[in-house]
Amino acid sequence: MLELSEKEQQAVDTLPETRLIDPRTKNEYVLIRAELFDRLKSVLTDDAELDMKQVAILVERAMAEYDENDPSLEVYQ
């Protein structure tokens, strides 16, 4: 783990979005709080994708069951 220098800490405190540039590669990085990174990481992992697929399957099943018992389904399809 790296610690911020005083100048870097001031930038984090004053800028809403802190970007870092690697002088060798010119790649840009965005510095965000660890708690936000952890939340984003959980959304972007394969596990989250599987969960969304499972949700989609459940929604599709629920809609099919609802449509089965709907006498006016043909009217609004």
pLDDT tens digits, 41-63 = 776 766 656 677 778 888 888 88
Q: What is the average pLDDT value for the chain, to the nearest integer?
A: 80
The span from the CA of 16 to the CA of 23, in Å, is: 22
By CB atoms closer than 10 A (0-12, 13-18, 19+), residue 71 is exposed
Contacts with 22 (C-beta within 8 Å, 6 or more apart), sequence order: 28, 29
**CB of 11 within 8 A of CB of 18?**
yes
The pLDDT value given to residue 50: 60
